[in-house]
Amino acid sequence: MKRFLFITVLLLAFGCSKPAGDVPSGILQEAQLCGSAIRHRQLVKNIPVDGAVFRLVFSKPADLSDTKSIVFDGGDFIVSAGEDERTVILKPKETLRYSHSYTLAFLAGQVFGIRLVEDYIFHFSTVPEPMDEKEVFPRISTDELLTKVQEHTFKYFWDYAHPVSGLARERFGSGETVTTGGSGFGLMAIPVGIERGFITREEGCERAAKVVDFLSTKADRFHGAFSHWLNGTTGKAFAFSTYDNGADLVETAFLMEGLLTLRAYFDKRDMAETNLRGAITSLWEAVEWDHFTRGGQNVLYWHWSPDYEWQMNMQIRGWNEALIVYVLAASSPTHRISKEVYDRGWAPGRNGKKFYDITLPLGQDYGGPLFFAHYSFMGLDPRKLSDAYADYWAQNVAHARINHAYCAANPKNKYGYSDRCWGLTASDINGGYTASSPTNDRGTIAPTAALASMPYTPEESLAAMEYFYYYLGDRLWGEYGFYDAFCLEDRWFATSYIAIDQGPIVCMIENYRSGLLWNAFMKDPDVRRGLDNLGFSY
């Protein structure tokens, strides 16, 4: 409203001015603010309070003494010449206010000795007042901090698990709603908890058996597959959306990724671990992956509903987070898909372009949200993984490096982004939820993005971990580790935890530290057979 009133005053004050007839007419050919192009009526955010420098290029030589028609609601300007007689440099005389919006206008009429034939109005806002850049927690060693982050995040799945089913609640405060995919990640965290000494092996096996028993005896299944959400007490499917009240094959794959990891990890011959492996095998072999080809098509479908059948009509095609679906579907000893389904259905889209001088083999420009490089690869070891389409280590490293480079370069001038404050992926945002990426940048950083990328960008991820903890920890750190996301421009810090964001933190940090989960999952004979069937090298 304030800007509207200001522009109205401008129009009343200057709209009827008549320049002298001998003044040459012209246009503003180019405008830059702080070195970046700015368009008529565009709002540019996060301009430094002492650095709002405009560079203006007119079509005619400019008279620097003719400044009476410069209209700016932030006071007077210092006017200086640019590199030629058509270029003018403007800089406010006074330091601007923090978190404040300003308008600079040149209305049609005479300015700089030129009769402008149209209006030029530019809007910008300044940065928030800086936060104190001080460390809020005492320094500990890098190994101690890694373990601390893993342990607190692990507690989300251990202490905050649903008391009846043992499955992971979808998010903090979700009550009865548990998530199958997020529970798969939580199951993968159990070996981490054992190896890091957070729990005993016996406790881990007991909790895994509780979860597997619930999945086997109470949870709704649809052609062997599970729904996205379940009631943690009754096992009944919760509809994720109107037509999505049955099987979710992608979430089922994440769950099976976790279960197969446990089947490989719990390899002792005692009764408890032997029974656990047998129960996992029964769940695994019951999934009818081939059913989701929808009658023999050469592609897998994401959803099936007992009420709406294939109404969702969503094919699983690459490149995204779902490579694991096709690998497991080809690994099934009972309901296997053929290589042709993989080649014709998944066939990840090639990219090959460079972003920040980094070649991206697959997928959308700039790589998309970083969970693409995490969910399938918590079990699948990408270090030597390749097929006819890509080297998956090269793909994931490039994706993570591009995400980091984008945040460090900060081309959209998002407040607070830097080489140590980075990471765009799906997360809560202020007032909602979105899959953040360089092409969908809402100014919100999600700790899971950088932390779960630690195998790919160890130096950059460790720097982010230290920044999040030591400098933002009084607002970003809680009972279950780092909160889901934050936006420094809005001074907004989430108070939420989400299972699918928590799991990759625990598991991918461990894969960076020891390769534990990669080693377990990749030794599974069914998985190896499936990779062979699809023509992978590993």
Separation CA 367–CA 456 (nearest Å): 14
Alpha helices in 53-179 (DSSP H): 142-158
Helix/strand/coil percentages in the chain, nearest 5: 40, 20, 45
How high is the pLDDT of residue 131?
83
d(CA 354, CA 349): 15
The pLDDT tens digits of the residues spanning 141-156 come to 999 999 999 999 999 9
For 46, the enclosing helix (H) or strand (E) is strand 43-47
| Cβ–Cβ under 8 Å, residues 506 and 154 | yes
Q: Are 527 and 256 in contact (CB under 8 A)?
A: no
Residues whose CB falls within 8 Å of the CB of residue 143, separated by 6 or more in sequence, listed in order: none
Contact 476, 493 (CB under 8 A): yes
Structural domain boundaries in the chain: 2-126, 142-533
**Looking at the domain covering 142-533, what would its CATH class be?**
mainly alpha
Q: Using CA atoms, how far apart are residues 62 and 30, in angstroms rounded to an integer?
A: 14
Question: pLDDT by residue (tens digit) across 405-456?
Answer: 999 999 999 999 999 999 999 999 999 999 999 999 999 999 999 999 999 9
DSSP summary character for residue 74: T
Task: Please name every residue paired with 224 in a beta bridge, in sequence order, or none if there are none.
Answer: none
Q: How far is Cα 132 from Cα 117, in angstroms, rounded to an integer?
A: 47
Stretches in the chain below the pLDDT threshold 70: 1-22
Please classify residue 295 by burial: count the beta carbons closer than 10 Å to its beta carbon, then call 0-12 exposed, 13-18 middle and 19+ buried. Answer: exposed
Which numeric CATH code is attached to 2-126?
Answer: 2.60.40.3710
The beta strand positions in 244-364, using DSSP E, are 247-248, 303-304, 354-355, 358-359
Q: Is the Cβ–Cβ distance between 317 and 347 less than 8 Å? A: yes
Give the tens place of pLDDT for each residue, 241-272: 999 999 999 999 999 999 999 999 999 999 99
What does the block give as tokens for 378? 């918590």
Separation between Cα atoms, residue 268 and residue 13, nearest integer Å:
85
